[in-house]
Structure 1
Amino acid sequence: MKIGKLQIIITALAIVAGILAVLVFSGVLPGYGGSGSKNRVSLTMWGTISESAFKNTLIDLKKSNIYITYQEKNPSTFEREFIDALARQKGPDLIIFPSEMILPEKNKLQIIPFETIGERLFRDTFADGTELLLTETGAAGIPILIDPIVLYWNKDIFRNESIADSPKTWNEFLTTSQVLTKFDGSGNIARAGSALGIEVNVNHFKEIVSLLVLQTGSPIIDSKTLKVKFDGMNEALRFFTEFSDPQKFSYSWAKSMPESKDAFIKESLAIYFGFGSEYHSLKEKNPHLNFDISEVPQVLNGKLSLTYGKFYSIGITSQAKNFAGALSATQAMASKEQVQKISEGAFMAPARRDLLKEGTTNAPLQTIFKQAIKFRSWLDINYEKTSEIFAGMIKSVYTRTKTEEQASKDAKDQLDALYNQ
C-alpha cells in the first residue's frame, strides 16, 4: 500500500512533537515557544498560588511570544468561581489547580494526550503521587508543585523541657506531647503539647487523619476503582481522638482552645501540623517565634515512610480555543528551569524528580523537599462533603456516641454513597 505525502508529513510532525516533549520534560530543553515562536499567543490563567511566584516565568514566556495574564484567586472560592465562569463562557485558558480538584473537575479540562507526553515519560519526570492525574488516554494536567504536611515545633518550649529534637515516631510524639502539655490549677490546658483529637479547631484535621491512615498502607480511595479503602482507619481514629480525652494521659487539646495554627503562633501550642507553604506566614505573624520544621512522625518499624500532601498542576480548560498555544505554555512552565523558579517563589517543593534530586540549600525547603518525595494523596470527589464526613466521624468518637469501629464503618458507607452517585 502506498503512503501519501500528507500522511508522511503528519507522522513526521507527530514524531518531532514527541521528541520535543521528551526534551522539554526531561530538562534537556528549557521549554520552547511552539506556535508562539512565530505568532503571538495570548492566554488567561487562574490559580491560588501567589502571583509573585509566576512573575519571572511569565516574563520568560514573553520571549517565546507567549503572553499570559494571571489572576490570583481566593482558595476558598476558587473552584466555585471556576465552575461559574465556565458556565458563563468566561473561563480562563489555563488553571493552576490543587489535587483535590482532579476528580470533580477533570471533565472541564482538555486531556493532554499520551502522544504528547507518554505515561512512561510522565512517571519518570514527576514525583510519585502525581500519577493521580493520569487517565486512560493522557494526563488531566502537568504537575509543577508539591505542598506536603510537615511538623512545626517551638524550639524554646522544647529546650525549656530539655527535649533536643522533634519526635521521629508516633511513640515519641505521644510521650513528647505529654511532657510539653501543662495544666493550670483548675485542670485546664495552659499550654498544649500537640493539637489532635477534635475537628472544630484543629487545622487540617482531615489531612492529619489521612496521613495516619496512609502510613498503614491503605490508600483511602483506590485511584483506579474509586472504591473506599479504610483499612487502618480504626487505629488512626483511636490514636487521633485520644488527645482530646481528659481521661487519657495523652490529653492535650480541648474545644475551648483556639485554632491550632493561631495557638502555635501565640506560643500556647508546642507542635503544629501544617503544610510546608505555611512557613512564611508563621514567621510573618510572629517574627519572634523561634520554631523549626521537621518531617512528620512515622510508625515505629513501619514498612512505609510517608506524609500526606497536595500538589498543584497546570491544566488546559475546556474553553481554551488555542490548544496548541496553551500546550506550548504548559510545557514551558513545566520545564526544569521554570519549575525551579516557581518553586522558589511559592516556597513549595517542585514536582519534578530531577529538581527534588538536586535539592536546595535553603534549610526549611530541604525538609519540604524530603517530605515531597514521600508524599501521598487520594482522589477527593468533593472536598467540602468529604471533610464533613471526616468531621462527623471524629466527633462521634470523642463525644463517645460511637465506637471507632462504628464511626469508621458509617463514614465509609457515606463515602461509598458519595462516590457512587
Structure 2
Amino acid sequence: MKNKLKQIFLIFIIALLSLSATGCGKKPSPVSTTNIPTNASGKVEIFTWRATEYEDLFRPYAGVFMESNPQVQIWYDQQGLKNYEENTTENIAEDFKPHVWSIPVDWLPDNQKKLVPMPDGLLGENTRSVDVIKEKILPGGDNDIYDSIIFDNQVYALPFTVDTLAIFHNRSLFRKALERWQQAHPRVANSEPSEEELRVTKLLTGPPKTWNDLLELIPLLTVRNGDQIEQAAIALGNVDNIRNADDIVQLMIYQNGGDIVSDGAEKMAVFKSSKVKENGELFYPAREALSLFSSFSDPTKANYTWNKNMPDSVEAFTTQKVAMVIDYPSFRNELVEKYANLYQNLDMVPISPVFQVSEEDAPVNFASFSVETVTNAAKAQGKVGLAWSWILGYMKTPNSQAITQTLLRPSPFKSITEERAKQSYGSISRQSLTARVTYKRHHVEFDALFNKMIRDVTENGQPIDDAVNQTNKLIDDLLKKP
C-alpha cells in the first residue's frame, strides 16, 4: 500500500469552530524542545502513525498543540493494518519514525522493547506516571486493562478506547420471525395471548441477554429450506467465515470461569485447566465454551444455525442472511461508512451487551482496543517527553470524552465510563468495567493456534479435550519462546 503522509494544517477559523465543538480550547502548557533536532524549516517534527482511526478527529487537537508549541510540526500517517507492524519495525530500527505509534493492545508484549514508557513528572510535579494512570484509567475485569498497558510498573501505552464484544441485531428479521410464529399459531378471535405467545413475543423484542435465551431464539430466527440454511439466527460455530471467532471463544472461556494465560511474571497457558463448581463438581471452561460454540454449526444439534458454506458474517449481516453477529463497537462505523444505504447514521445501528451466562452473576466481557505508544525512534531523537506530551494532549479527559462520543465508543477513562454507565444508553460503556484482555506473545502465531483449535473441533472432528490440551501446550511453548 502506498503511504500518503499527511501534514495536519489547521486554518485558524476552522480551529475556532473545532475547538468549541470538541472542548479542547484550553491551551496545553508549552513543551521544551531545547537540543532536539529540527527540519529545514526549523520545526521539531512528531510523526504519528495509526492503522485505522480517523485523521479528522485529530485536526483540532493537533492545532491546539501546535499553537501552544509553534516550534512543533505534527505529521499524521494513516496506513491500514496490512504490513503495518513490519513497516513500523523497520523504520524504528533506523531511528527514523514514527514517534507516536498506535497499535492493537495485544501487540504490546511483542513490541515492548521498541517502546519507551511514559516519563514520571509529565502528569504533575513529583508524580509517578503509573500512579496517576491507575487512578484515571479503567482497571477492567481482574485488572486486565491495567495489566495490558503497564509492564515493570511503568506505563507503556494508553488505551484510545476500550472496545468490548457486543451484539448487533437486525430488527426487521426479529419482527418477521414474530410474524411467522403468529401466522403458524393463530390466536382465537377476541382471546388473550397464551403464555407461549407472551414468551415468544418477549424473546423477539430484541437480542437475548443470556446464552440460554439465545438457544431458545435459534429455532425462531433460523429459516431453512430443506437442509439449506437461508437465514441464520447468529453467526457462531465456525472460524473462517466469522469475524472475531477466536475472541468470542475466549470470551466464553472467561465467562465460564476460566483463564487463557496466567497472571504473574512467568506467563503460562492455562485454558485447559479445570474449575470446581459450588457443589464440588469439576468442570472445564474451555470444553464448555467449545462445546457450545461448535454446536451452532453442528447439523445434529438443536441450535444448528450456521455452517462453513454461509457467507462471511459481515456480508451475511448486511444482506439480511443472519439476524445477529458478535462484533466490536467499531463495527457501527464500518456499517455507516460502507453500507450507507442501510445505515445512514450510527444511531440506526442497534447494539446491545453481549450474552452472559446468567443475569444474576457478575458480567464478564472481552475487550480489544488500540493503544497509543512512544517508540525508540523518539528516544533516539530526544523526543520522548514531547511525543508523550502530544499523546496526553489529545488523550486528556475532555478530549477523550469528545472523541469517544463522536465515535460512539467507550472511553478508557474511569470517570467518563462510570458516568456514561449510569445512563439508559450506557450498556456498552458498562461492559468496559468488567472487560478481560488476553495477554499474547508472538500474537500472529497465538491467534493462528487458537483459530486452528476451533477449526479442528468444528470442521475436522477432533475431540474437544484433545484439541484443547494440544493447543494449550503449543501456546504455552509460544509464551516461553524468546
User: TM-score under structure 1 normalisation?
Assistant: 0.86
Which residue number in structure 1 is paired with residue 389 of structure 2?
A: 328
Tell whether 2:49 aligns with 1:46: yes
**Alignment partner for residue 333 of structure 2, among 277, 280, 283?**
280
Task: Name the SS of the counterpart of 1:80 in structure 2.
Answer: helix
The answer on whether the counterparts of 1:53 and 1:346 sit within 8 Å (CA) in structure 2 is no
Q: CA deviation at 1:125?
A: 0.4
Task: Determine helix, strand or coil for the equivalent of 1:112.
Answer: coil
* Residue 99 (str. 1) matches residue 105 (str. 2): yes
Matched residue, 2:310: 257
* Secondary structure at 2:469 match in 1: helix
Paired residue type of 1:245: D
How many angstroms apart in 2 are the aligned matches of 1:361 and 1:127? 15
Alignment partner of 1:376 is 2:436: yes
Match 2:324 to one of 271, 277, 287: 271
> Offset at 1:142?
2.1
Whether 2:206 is the aligned partner of 1:165: answer: yes
Q: Percent identity?
A: 22
Rg larger in 1 or in 2?
Answer: 2
Residues 168-226 of structure 1 show CA distances to partners (whole Å, capped at 9, x for unaligned) of 00000121123101101x31101000111111101111111111112223331124232
Using the TM superposition, name which of 231-240 and 264-273 deviates more.
231-240
Tell me if structure 1 keeps the 8 A contact 2:261–2:439.
Answer: yes
By how many angstroms is 1:369 displaced? 2.0
Match of 1:97, SS state, is strand
Q: Which residue of 2 aligns with 1:17?
A: none
- Offset of residue 357 of structure 1: 2.5
Q: Which moved more, 1:411-420 or 1:128-137?
A: 128-137
Alignment match of 1:61 (pick from 59, 62, 65): 65
- Cα 1:179–1:220 change in 2 (3 A) is same
Aligned equivalent of 2:164: 148
User: Once the 2 structures are TM-superposed, how far is the Cα of residue 36 of structure 1 from its aligned partner?
Assistant: 6.0
Any conservation in 2 of the 1:223–1:378 contact (CA below 8 Å)?
A: no
- State the partner residue of 1:229: 270
Q: Work out the CA distance in 2 between the residues paired with 1:56 and 1:38.
A: 27
Aligned-partner SS, 2:106: helix
Partner of 1:388: 448
CA distance in 1, matches of 2:340, 2:300: 33
- Residues 31 and 335 of structure 1 are in contact (CA less than 8 Å); yes or no, is this contact kept in structure 2? no
1:174 and 2:232 correspond: no
Higher strand share: 1
Give the Cα–Cα distance (whole angstroms) in 2 for the partners of residues 360 and 402 of structure 1. Answer: 42
d(CA) in 2 for partners of 1:363 and 1:46?
Answer: 36
Root-mean-square deviation over aligned CA pairs: 2.6
Deviation for aligned residue 1:286 = 5.1
Which structure is richer in relative contact order (CA contacts within 8 A, separation 6 or more)? 1
Number of paired residues? 392
Secondary structure class of the residue paired with 1:310: coil
- 1:124-181 Cα deviation digits (max 9, x unpaired): 2001232111112411112232222110001011122231121000000121123101
Q: 1:30 to 1:407 in 2, by over 3 A?
A: farther
Distance 1:119 1:386 in 2: 28
What corresponds to 1:189 in structure 2? Answer: 229
| Separation in 2, partners of 1:183, 1:386 | 36
Q: Is the 8 A contact 1:220 1:228 kept in 2?
A: yes
Q: Which amino acid aligns with 1:52?
A: D
Q: For residues 38 and 63 of structure 1, what CA distance do their matches in structure 2 show? A: 20
Cα distance, 1:31 vs structure 2: 4.5
**Counterparts of 1:122 and 1:151, CA distance in 2:** 30
- Aligned counterpart in structure 1 of residue 465 of structure 2, from 395, 405, 411: 405
1:221-274 C-alpha deviation (Å, 9 max, x unpaired): 124232112041111111100001001111111111110011001011000111
d(CA) in 2 for partners of 1:217 and 1:31? Answer: 45
Shift of 1:302: 6.2
The residue that corresponds to 2:367 in the other structure is: 309
Q: Check whether the contact 1:152–1:271 (CA below 8 A) recurs between aligned residues.
A: yes
1: CA distance between counterparts of 2:67 and 2:406? 20
TM-aligned CA distance change 1:91 to 1:208, over 3 Å: same
Structure 2 equivalent of residue 358 of structure 1: 419
* Residues 193 and 270, structure 1, Cα contact 8 Å, conserved in 2: yes
What is aligned with 1:136? 152
The Cα shift of 1:113 comes to 4.3
Quote the Cα distance in structure 2 between the aligned partners of 1:32 and 1:381.
38
- Tell me the distance in 2 between the aligned counterparts of 1:182 and 1:396: 27
Distance in 1 separating the partners of 2:421 and 2:262: 33
The alpha-carbon distance between structure 1 residues 311 and 381, as it changes in their structure 2 partners (threshold 3 A), is: same
Deviations 1:316-338 (A, max 9, x none): 10110212212221222221122
Q: 1:22 maps to what in 2?
A: none
Counterpart of 2:367 in 1: which secondary structure?
Answer: strand
TM-score under structure 2 normalisation?
A: 0.76
Q: Assess if the C-alpha contact under 8 Å between 1:53 and 1:342 holds in 2.
A: yes
Aligned-pair CA distance for 1:343? 2.1
Cα deviations across residues 302-351 of structure 1 (Å, max 9, x unaligned)?
64312211122221101102122122212222211222233234442211
SS at match of 1:305: coil
User: Does 2:316 match 1:240?
Assistant: no
Q: Is the counterpart of residue 126 in structure 1 residue 137 in structure 2? A: yes
Residue 52 of structure 1 deviates from its aligned partner by: 1.9
CA contact 1:109–1:317 (8 Å) conserved in 2 = yes
| Alpha-carbon distance change, 155 to 382 in structure 1, aligned in 2, over 3 angstroms | same
Alpha carbons of structure 1 residues 251 and 37: separation in structure 2 relative to 1, 3 Å: farther
Residue 111 (structure 1) shift: 1.6
